[in-house]
Amino acid sequence: PESDAAAAWRGLAASYVRRALKDQTLDKDPALNARIDSVMGAVGAAVAAIDARFADSRWKAILIEDFGHGAVAFPGETVLVDAKFVRTLRLNDDELALVFSHEAAHVVAGHASAKLSFMAEFLGREKLPTARTALLEFLAKDSYAAAFRPTAQLQEREADRLGAAIFFAAGYDT
């Protein structure tokens, strides 16, 4: 079920944040964090304007040093962002909004649940009785990601299209 899938992904996001707290890798730059909060707030408002399911959502972006991914969105309206990625590329607010819009589009489109449904079909629901077991199994082997690649490519295209609408609604400069 969608709610179980969302809970499994939120748990994964929380584990990344807990690890960052333990390792002291949450970004501490107040100016950068303020920019991130402002841009994510505008993108979140645009999502709410486009999709009523997110009308009461409060989107947040969390900067983690050396996160290892540019940015990743999780159900629960959370985007984890690699601070090194932002600094190295010197992303301005328009570019941050484009990244956040694309990531938010993954959540709006339900891509996280689709990954878990894929795993349940791929290995069989009897082997993966819960969303959490499907997520853990998906993360366990690169071969699952390879099998999911054609679907992932379609999801990326969908996130690009929907993300463009979110970006445009947020009012940032194309």
Q: Is 141 exposed, middle or buried (0-12, 13-18, 19+ CB in 10 A)?
A: exposed
The 10 Å CB-count burial string (b at 16+, else e) for 45-60 is bbbbebbeebeebebe
Residue 140, both tokens: 């366990």
Per-residue pLDDT tens over the stretch 87-124: 999 999 999 999 999 999 999 999 988 888 888 888 88
| Mean pLDDT, rounded, for 15-44 | 96
Q: How confident is the model at residue 29 (pLDDT cuts 50, 70, 90)?
A: very high
- 169, amino acid identity: A
- 39, amino acid identity: V
Per-residue pLDDT tens over the stretch 115-171: 888 888 888 878 888 888 888 888 888 888 889 999 999 999 999 999 999 999 999
Query: What integer pLDDT is reported at residue 145 of this predicted model?
Result: 86
Q: Where are the beta strands (DSSP E) in 14-161?
A: 60-64, 71-74, 78-82
* The pLDDT of residue 48 is above 80: yes
Percent of the chain with pLDDT over 70: 100
Query: What integer pLDDT is reported at residue 164 of this predicted model?
Result: 98
* The pLDDT of residue 1 is above 80: no
Q: Torsion over CA of 6, 18, 27 and 105, rounded to 10 degrees?
A: -10
Least confident of 4-18, 20-34, 157-171: 4-18
